[in-house]
Each structure stands twice: as structure tokens, then as C-alpha cells.
Structure 1
């Protein structure tokens, strides 16, 4: 028989009605798409009988579409997805939610599928497909349970309108679906012509943003800024890194000043680079700022953020560590070498790396919005900073490889100059003191757990 069945279940400590409702919200489908996959939701108008979902997935140089239809929807209990066209000969996916008393339920995903080529197709690709499904649904169930239980933990949070600058970036791409799946409305700032009510045009370099279009905004999230690790810091690149952050934040604050009814909070990204190179010293939000280009950029950035306080807003500067996701950033750059068994430490490997999983960075942003104890600088890092050598060993172990190579410091300096000095060979051991005080619960407080989650390992 070439027909195959895959099934996986998870117990969730919330009523079946809440789990079902979460699946119906905008953003839920994007939340369930793992960061190691290159995929894009082309069409999704909700879960209802006859509603269609179209997803494009990258396969080599191609982006084939996968078209499925929702059917057999039973409120609070189940819905099915049936393939109309796509990579499988047959695909039927049943999402079943079974109540376990009034406060718990069991979510089961059951898939009946058939590969092209019949018995031969199953012999060639059957094992690979099953392993892929195991990785996918381990990830999906962890995200579903954590998101649904998170909503209960925060209590009755009213639906809000979030304005997000940098929504198409690495963190923004994860943040927007999360906010929507929690029942909020998201408006993106874009630098092209706005497409519909969910977008507003702005030009931060020229200070252009229409305050009238921000009416009804409750929260402003600022993630805008030129990529720091995009190569050698030439004079032009240094200027772009600094000016992009200062101009974006200044434009947001000056526009908020013109509003009659203002948002109640501005959460703006910053970075642990503000502390400079601190060796073995443990630092928190009360520690002195450091020196260097990155420290100067963060100081200027946070000064613009802090200006919002004079307008009556709570202003939060989230000092991010290395954000871990294979979708981009530092981890994505490391993966090819480590997957080839050619990974290892940089320089001495003794420099400290303060990191945070992308799920927890998104969670820290949301926590900073909800919890009024968060104000001023807040370190967005996991509690377990590691040395660069420890990071390399952990990543290699997760990938089933060895971290036996190292990149000499002189090679990095010759290739990248000051960027290598400050971003790769320097380190800081940062503690999330204010997140701890505000009782933020990390999803992944240990490096290996975070890497296994985002890499599906």
C-alpha cells in the first residue's frame, strides 16, 4: 500500500474552545510555519468550509504552490484540509481537538497522504517525508501550546492596534503573525506605496509620516534599522547604520507628538552592543555603557527612544542579544559551515555571547507592552550566556557534527575590520535583570533547547 498515515498528539492546559479559536485567528497559519522552511502564505481567508489556503514553498530555485481546501469544520472540535493541487498525490489533514474536562484538551493532527509514484515513490522518499513531518509537528505543537497558554497567563488583554516599523525584517516577520494570533490588529509602516488599510507609508530619512493616519494606534514597535553585520564598516556604512536608527526613531516620536490621542507605549529595539567589550564582567541594565561604534549607535538610538517619555508614553529600549533563527541573522550565516562539519570558534572563543531565541525576543517585546514594570532599558537576552566556543560546540552537537575548526582572529580582522573587532571578537555577559523582575517566563532559557526548537532538531 502506498497510502500512509501520520498522527501526532499533544495535551494543552486550556479548554478546547480556546485552542480551536486560536487556529481561526489571522496569523495562526504563519505561526505554524517553521523558520527553517522557506515558505510564504499567498492566500488564507480563515477556517471555514470551502475556504482555500495557498502556500508557496521553496524547492531549489522554484516556488511551487500548494493549494488546500478547508472542510468538515465542527466548532471547537475539528477541521480538515484537503489538497486540491500540490506535491502529494493525496493529502488529507485532520485537526482534531478533544476536550479533557473543562480546562484541558488534546490536539491531534492526523494526515493521510500518498506520494507520487506509488510504491516506488514511497520507497525513495517515504522515510524523508515522515522525518520531515515529525520535525514539523513537533515544532507546530510546541508553538500552539505555548501561544494558547500564554494568552491565559496574561489574562484579559484587550484587543489593541500595533504600529510596527521594520515589520518585514527578521524579527518583524515573526512578531506580526504572533500579534495577530493573539487577537490584535497590526499596521505596518512601509517605504513604498501602501497597499490597503494594514499599511502606512513613511519615509524616515526625510521625517515623513502622516500623524492623522495613526489614529487609533495603541502601541508602537520600532524594529527599523540598517543591518549591522552586512559587511565591513566603511564610512558610508557606519553612517547608514547610525542614521537609519536615529531617523526612524526620531520620525516616530515627532509624529506621535502631533497626535491628539497618543499610544501608551513605545517599544524600540536596541542592542547589548551598548555595553561594549566587557570581558568576564556580568552586566545588567544598571551597568555603565561601554565604548566603541556599536555602543555609540545604541546610545544615540536610546536617546531618541527616551524622548517619548516627555510625551507621556512608557518608553522601552529592548537591548537585544544575538537573535537565534535560521531565517536570517548570525545563526543563518553560521549554518552552512556547521552543516558541512567545518564550524568552530572565532578567535580565542573566550568572548561571551549573549543570545535569545527569536520566540523569546518576540515574547519579550509583547511582555514589555503588557507589563508596566518594563520601562527604560530592558536586556532582551536569555539567562544563559555562553562563550563563543561553547556556542560553537552546542550548535555542532545539535546538528550532529563536530566543532573542530576555528577562524583565526587575524583572518576576521583582515576581512571585516572593525566589524569583526566589535561584533565577532568582542563579548559581553549580559543578564536579563529587568525581565526577571517583571517575571517574564522564557520559552527557551537554555541554548541547546533554543537551537533544537528553531532548527527542528
Structure 2
């Protein structure tokens, strides 16, 4: 196998495979944290194991006789596994265009590798059975490093597939069980991270849901039956809604706060809410309630001060966002609609939000403390947030701002330690405040280095029971830790 072209093709295969794994499987698609991809992960694990054997054999050994037949069988099985994988992917997820292109190139390149390797395999198969040591210099080193890489990901994918069984989120209908009788609910932001779970719970609970989205393609991820509209103009004045849940808005912490970004963040929230105000004005039957999103950022950056719904704000851009949104929502109350403003903390789930972005770095020992680690992180588990939405919809005595956070906020250093323990990984890194502020500007200073010690005073007074009141057990359940069984049972009892 001293053919330079063959080794070049093998190198290209390694590069494209690494790109597919790191960018698609670990990056955009996050397969290791999607329970639906358990079978795909197992197929990847088997295929990566085959590649480990192939690379090591090509690097240092020349198989003869029966060993050649065994290697040929492995090369053939890799093709069958890949075909099975293609079918599994098409049945369980929508592949991005770049992944489809990459898969096509991988298949073509692998075919070229086999075409060049077949003459060698044919000659070796006729020789007496033996494993002859060989070396191809740097090509052998490259193949060995590739074998180590795919071997690690083979083990990682197998462990992730086994963990998938512990990532189940239970029956979503139980999250809205207190919401009776059946409701007609309009949801904005229904294709987002929080909205998808809310819609899933409402549909499972037998409610009638209308979702407004600018991109109908995103509606493919929703649980049906759901009415999908792309504009509020599609709603007739005679249509009836019992409630509106308004969660739509430009993401806040996904990029630098340029002047244009700041404007989009505020306008996306205010304009949608103004449009809802106009809708309510023309409806023949006005909804009884509006549940409007906001965030704990309304309070500004408050260090160690304990904050309730009665606390006053401090200046900050995050306060400007929330204040503008809340003011536009409160105007709807002038039409006799009960308005509840949910000041939401950091929403935790393996399926999206801040935590989803942290899981892969923490899994690969890249997690660490932000700044001095003393900033407060008010948090809420996603299903608890859905339960809060249902609770405030059902309770007619709740109006105005409501802190939608768990009863025990934590500091960043404690959050980092709890997540590392849930994943059974060390978190020894520190990200200096000066570095984060320089790289991320005001976005980093306000969303990562600033914080608020927010308490859900009103919810607790009204008797709301959190399924996840403490961070460490919640993270063990969310991440599917092996020790999460007892926490999940305790959660079910509280819910």
C-alpha cells in the first residue's frame, strides 16, 4: 500500500469524517443529546470501531491470507453500516444541506479508496496467512492518530446511545394537567426552545393550539395537530382564543450587541406584542389572559441583593429590553385582558438554551468558571417553566410580574461544579473577566459576568410546587446521569 494517491484519498476521508463529526454530529445536530438518535449513535459507534481497525491495519500491518479476507469483510460491513445509517437519518431527523453534501463526498471518496485497495487485497489474499509489519512513515503516523480519534468517538457514541434511554422527559400532558377545561391558545415563539415544549404539552393535554411562525419549515418540529399561521392577519375577527402566550423575540446572547443587534432584540419583541394588541382589539371575543415573556434581566445587575417581584430595577441594556417588552404587553391589559409577565431565569434543558451550548465543552473537559464565579445565576428547568405557564393560565388571581425561577439561585462557581459533577468530568478552567469582556463586550458583561439573585416569591405564595427546586439534582436528571433515577422519582412525586 505504498501508493501515494491511495494515502491522499485516505487523508481526505479522515478530514471529511472529522468535519462531519465535529461540525454536524457534535455541533449543529448535537446527536449525543437527542434521545431520538439512539440507533444512529450506535451505528456511528460500530462504524468508527471498524475505521479504528482499518486505519491501524493500513498503518502498520500487511494482512495476508485469512487476515486479508477478514479485512475485506470489515470494509464491506462498513458500506452496509453506512447505508443503514443513511436510512436511519432520513427517518429520524432532517439533515442540513452541508451534511448531505459531505456524506455524498465521503461515499464517493470511500469508493475510490476501495477501487485502489482491491488490487492489493487480491494479491495479499493469495499469500500464506500472516500479519506482516510495515511502515509508511508519516502516512502511518497520520493513520494511527486517526485511529485514536475514531476510537475515542466510537466509545463516546456508544456511551451516548446508552445514556439516551435516561434522557426521556416523560409524558408532556402532565405539565399542563391543571389547565382545565380544554383551552384555545395562541402561541407566538412556538417553534423556539421553550415554545416547542409548551406546544407539545398543550397538544398532549388535548388543547387547541395555534402557532404563529415566520418560517413554516420550523413547524415540522412541532407536535401535531397544531394550526400554523405565518401572520396574525390570517386570524379572523370571529376566531376565539381563551389565552395568548407570547414568547417571540430575537435571541439575546447569541452574538455581539452591535447597534443593529440591539435594535433587533427590542423591536422583535415590541413589534410582535403591538401586533397582538391590534389583534385583541379586533377580535369579537377577547382572550381572558395574556402570558407574556420577559426575563430576570429586568432587574439589571444587582450583585448579592435578593430580588422579588416588588424590587426596583437598575440601569442595563437587559433592563431596557425587558422594560420595553413589558410596557408593550401591559397596554393589552387596558382591553380587559389579564396580563401576566413572566420574568424568566436561565432555562435549563439538554435540548436547547444556554445549557445545551455548555454540554459538549463540559463533556470534553472544556468547562470552567466565568470571571470570579461569584455572579448569581437564577435558573429554571424547562418543564418547570411550562408548568408555571399552565399554572398562571389557570390561576385567575395572578396578574402582573412573576419571577419564573427556581427557589434556589446559585453562583456561577456552584453551577460549574454541579454541571461538571453531573457529567462526571473535571472543570478546572477559568475564563478571566477581562478576556470575556474584551471578546464579548457588553453582552458578556451583562449576560455572563453580571447576575441577579432572583426569588420566585409570588409563585411560592400561591402554592406552586417546583419539580426541580435544587440545581444539582436537576442537572443529573437533565443530563441523564446514572445516578438520576432517585431524582427522577422524587421529581414525579413533587409534580
Asked if TM exceeds 0.5, the reply is: yes
Q: Following the alignment from structure 2 to structure 1, what is the Cα–Cα distance between the partners of residues 426 and 238?
A: 51
* Match in the other structure for 1:187: 210
Structure 2 SS opposite 1:191: coil
Is the 1:210–1:255 contact (alpha carbons within 8 Å) kept by the matching residues of 2?
A: no
Seen in structure 2, the aligned counterparts of structure 1 residues 242 and 61 have a Cα distance that, compared at 3 Å, is farther
Matched, 1:281 2:305: yes
Tell me which of 404, 417, 431 is aligned to 1:407: 431
Equivalent pairs counted in the alignment come to 339
Matched, 1:428 2:452: yes
Tell me which of 29, 32, 36 is aligned to 2:33: 36
Q: Following the alignment from structure 2 to structure 1, what is the Cα–Cα distance between the partners of residues 89 and 362?
A: 26
Correspondences of 1:112-123 after superposition (within 5 Å): none
Matched, 1:444 2:445: no
> What's the CA shift string for 1:232-290, capped at 9, x where partnerless?
10000000001001001111112111111011100011000000111111001000022
Correspondences of 1:264-279 after superposition (within 5 Å): 264-279=288-303
Seen in structure 2, the aligned counterparts of structure 1 residues 387 and 312 have a Cα distance that, compared at 3 Å, is same
Deviation of 1:329 after TM superposition, in Å, equals 1.6
What runs of 5+ residues in structure 2 fail to find an aligned partner?
1-30, 38-83, 94-153, 220-224, 482-495
Correspondences of 1:14-413 after superposition (within 5 Å): 36-37=33-34, 39=36, 63-65=89-91, 132=161, 135-140=163-168, 143-144=170-171, 147-148=173-174, 151=177, 154=178, 157-192=180-215, 198-202=227-231, 209-212=233-236, 215-413=239-437
Q: Following the alignment from structure 2 to structure 1, what is the Cα–Cα distance between the partners of residues 441 and 428?
A: 25
Is the 2:341–2:400 contact (alpha carbons within 8 Å) kept by the matching residues of 1?
A: yes
Seen in structure 2, the aligned counterparts of structure 1 residues 216 and 143 have a Cα distance that, compared at 3 Å, is same
- Give the TM-score normalised by the residue count of structure 1: 0.69
Structure 2 SS opposite 1:209: helix
Query: RMSD of the alignment, in Å?
Result: 3.0
Q: Following the alignment from structure 1 to structure 2, what is the Cα–Cα distance between the partners of residues 373 and 266?
A: 13
Deviation of 1:299 after TM superposition, in Å, equals 0.6
Is the 1:344–1:405 contact (alpha carbons within 8 Å) kept by the matching residues of 2?
A: yes
Correspondences of 1:5-16 after superposition (within 5 Å): none
> What's the CA shift string for 1:47-96, capped at 9, x where partnerless?
xxxxxxxxxxx9799824269xxxxxxxxxxxxxxxxxxxxxxxxxxxxx
Segments ≥4 residues shifted beyond 6 Å: 58-62, 125-131, 193-197
Q: Following the alignment from structure 2 to structure 1, what is the Cα–Cα distance between the partners of residues 159 and 243?
A: 42
What runs of 5+ residues in structure 1 fail to find an aligned partner?
1-33, 41-57, 68-124, 203-207
Q: Following the alignment from structure 2 to structure 1, what is the Cα–Cα distance between the partners of residues 437 and 287?
A: 44
* Structure with greater helix share of residues: 2
Is the 1:349–1:388 contact (alpha carbons within 8 Å) kept by the matching residues of 2?
A: yes
- Give the TM-score normalised by the residue count of structure 2: 0.64
Q: Following the alignment from structure 1 to structure 2, what is the Cα–Cα distance between the partners of residues 37 and 323?
A: 18
* Structure with greater strand share of residues: 1
Q: Following the alignment from structure 1 to structure 2, what is the Cα–Cα distance between the partners of residues 351 and 389?
A: 8
Is the 1:35–1:455 contact (alpha carbons within 8 Å) kept by the matching residues of 2?
A: no
